[in-house]
Each structure stands twice: as structure tokens, then as C-alpha cells.
């Protein structure tokens, strides 16, 4: 794994890259890709795609996921996002689109590639950036969580007026130290069917609330 990352993020996160835990993480990830060939996701060149697709200068919204989809051809380095040709959509992603449909009266898009969000300033950040095929959370407790905790803290400390969308208990816990006096933090249940079908997702109106906040700060709204 080569730690090539968008320059503005590299400058902000350079202290993390020099820490022992991150060097150990790099060695672990390198060995996983070497040993498992095409059975570790996303492709190695897309591990840091969330950062490359959304420079700090464009950052408006942070969405937190857990780890990449463990199905071949699905994960593309952006949380909740799938490659354009993937059918059917992941169930959580379907529920995200359904909420946008009712919240903003927008039709469900033709594909589930969320790079269009990233290009507008949405950081689609998983807590764990890699995974083995068919083994969800197989790369947990290897250092990724510590790294992404540092990312969230840096954004909280160094930026202002960012919207954080925290869906589900895991994301809420991960975002507990965000400075809510200078950022908007919206929380709800997870869009997974288990949570959504129990009334903890639909109707949260996070997408319209995020846009209202951005507009109030003089920033352009996200075309969800």
C-alpha cells in the first residue's frame, strides 16, 4: 500500500502517517493485498479515494460508514457507494435513496456511484478502509479506526461549518467528540433494513437539513 493521498489532506494528516501504529497498519494492509490477491477491497488504488475525491477546500459534509462492502466489484473507496454497474443496489443504499426521494422529491438515481456527491464536497468516509472478501469487519482493530478518529478530530478542530451525518450507533459513538458549537451534527438510526424498518431511519430529513445549514453559511447546497 502506497500512502498517496490528495495534497491538502496529506498536509493535514502528515503527523498520523509518521506514527508507529500507522506504519504497522501499512505493513498489515500490504500483506493482506499480497496474500489475498484480488480478494481484498476496495482496489488498492482506491483505499484513500474518499480523500482524493473531496479535497479539504471543497469539504462541506462528512458521512461516516463502517467498512467497505465485502462483495467483489462493489466497494469503490467511498462509504455506502457502489460501482456504477452494480445491480441490485445495496439495501442500505436503497433506503438512503428512498429518504432523499421523500425528503427532496428527487427520483431514485440510475446508479449507486456516489462520486457525484464527493465532487460536491461530501467526504464519504468509512471507519475501516479495507476488508477481505466475504468477511465484514475483517480489518477491524488493525489501526484504521485510530486513523479515521484522527481525521474526524482534525476536521472538527481545523474546519468550521461542516455537516456531519452520523447514522447508527457506531457512527454516533465515533463522532462523539465533534465540536458542535462550530459544526452541525445530525444523528439518526442506520439506513440498513433492520434499523429502517423499525422506524429509526425514514423521515430524518437529513438531506434537506444539511442543505439548509449550508445555505445559511453561504455555501452551495449539495445536489443529492
Q: DSSP secondary structure string, 190-204?
A: -SSHHHHTTTSSTT-
Separation CA 77–CA 174 (nearest Å): 19
Q: Is residue 67 annotated as part of the catalytic site, yes or no? A: yes
Q: Which of these is catalytic: 20, 52, 67, 113?
A: 67
For the chain, the three-class secondary structure string (H helix, E strand, C coil) is CCCCCCHHHHHHHHHHHCCHHHHHHHHHHHHHHHHHCCCEECCHHHCCHHHHCCCHHHCCEEEEECCCCCCCCCCCCCCCCCCCCCCCCCHHHHHHHHHHHHHHCCCCCCCCCCHHHHCCCEEEEECCCCEECCECCCCCCCCHHHHHHHHHHHHHHHCCCCEEEEECHHHHHHCCCCCCCCCEEEEECCCCHHHHCCCCCCCCCHHHHHHHHHHHCCCCCCCC
- List, in order, residues 6 or more apart from 208 with CB less than 8 Å away: 103, 104
**62 close to 123: Cβ distance less than 8 angstroms:** yes
Catalytic residues: 67
Amino acid at each position: 500500500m502506497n500512502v498517496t493521498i490528495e495534497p491538502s489532506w496529506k498536509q493535514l494528516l502528515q503527523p498520523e502517517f509518521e506514527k508507529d501504529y500507522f506504519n504497522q497498519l501499512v505493513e498489515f494492509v500490504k500483506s493482506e493485498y499480497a496474500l489475498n490477491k484480488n480478494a481484498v477491497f476496495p482496489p488498492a488504488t482506491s483505499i484513500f479515494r474518499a480523500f482524493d475525491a473531496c479535497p479539504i477546500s471543497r469539504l462541506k459534509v462528512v458521512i461516516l460508514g463502517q467498512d467497505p462492502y465485502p462483495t467483489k466489484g462493489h466497494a469503490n473507496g467511498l462509504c455506502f457507494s457502489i460501482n456504477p454497474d452494480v445491480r441490485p443496489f445495496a439495501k442500505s443504499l436503497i433506503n438512503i435513496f428512498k429518504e432523499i426521494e421523500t425528503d427532496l422529491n428527487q427520483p431514485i438515481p440510475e446508479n449507486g456511484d456516489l462520486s457525484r456527491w464527493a465532487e460536491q464536497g461530501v467526504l464519504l468516509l468509512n471507519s475501516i478502509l479495507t476488508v477481505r472478501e466475504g468477511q465484514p469487519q475483517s480489518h477491524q482493530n488493525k489501526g484504521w479506526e485510530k486513523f479515521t478518529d484522527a481525521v474526524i478530530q482534525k476536521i472538527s478542530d481545523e474546519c468550521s461549518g461542516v455537516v456531519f451525518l452520523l447514522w447508527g450507533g457506531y457512527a454516533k459513538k465515533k463522532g462523539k467528540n465533534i465540536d458542535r458549537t462550530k459544526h452541525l451534527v445530525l444523528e439518526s438510526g442506520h439506513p440498513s433494513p433492520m434499523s429502517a424498518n423499525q422506524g429509526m431511519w425514514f423521515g430524518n430529513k437529513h438531506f434537506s437539513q444539511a442543505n439548509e445549514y449550508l445555505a445559511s453559511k453561504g455555501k452551495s447546497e449539495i445536489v443529492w
